Amino acid sequence: MQAPPASAPRALDAGARDRVRSSRGAVEEKGEKRVILGVGTDILNMQRLHDILEAESDSFVRKVFTAREREQAAESPDPVSYYATRFSGKEAVFKCFGIHGNVRLSEIEILDGETGQPYVTLSGQLNGIAADKGIRSVLISLSCENEYAVAFAVAQD
């Protein structure tokens, strides 16, 4: 199959239409320019998490995941993939903040929205750190295939 020419129109979902990357690297959201303040990525071998969940599920899960994440995992057809992508996502968010300190993984909540697109909610000290850094939102993309879960996060003002 021949690749479409670069100038071919592409279908954009509603979110994409509102967030069009400008030529200067900023992201325009509904006409407002958003500056990227950090990016982070992570990859996780899902077998590693599978083994942990089998051996020490309760304590580990309570330390890492919020109550709402645990609820969504329980409803998921594949809880291991759900937890693996969230864990990877939390790591990616930490990396895009570029911080150390008294922060807990459960201060990052990554839930599936109504359309399945994940979204990030910060709490606790991380919320304050975000405010200090001028971060107003964090975008996240999660994926998994066979052995690995991957995540990519973008912090923006």
Nearer to another protein, 33 or 63 (CB): 63
Only segment of 46-54, 73-81, 130-138, 142-150 that touches another protein (CB under 8 A): 46-54
Only segment of 15-23, 27-35, 59-67, 114-122 that touches another protein (CB under 8 A): 59-67
Q: Any contact of residue 63 with another protein (CB under 8 A)? A: yes
Q: Any contact of residue 54 with another protein (CB under 8 A)? A: no
Q: Encode the chain in three state secondary structure.
A: CCCCCCCCCCCCCHHHHHEEECCCCCEEECCEEECEEEEEEEEEEHHHHHHHHHHHHHHHHHHHCCHHHHHHHHHCCCHHHHHHHHHHHHHHHHHHHCCCCCCCHHHEEEEECCCCCEEEEECHHHHHHHHHHCCCEEEEEEEEECCEEEEEEEEEC
Q: Which of 27, 37, 64, 130 forms a contact with another protein (CB under 8 A)?
A: 64
**What residue ranges bind another protein (CB under 8 A)?**
42, 44-45, 48-49, 52, 56, 59-60, 63-64, 87, 91, 94, 99-105
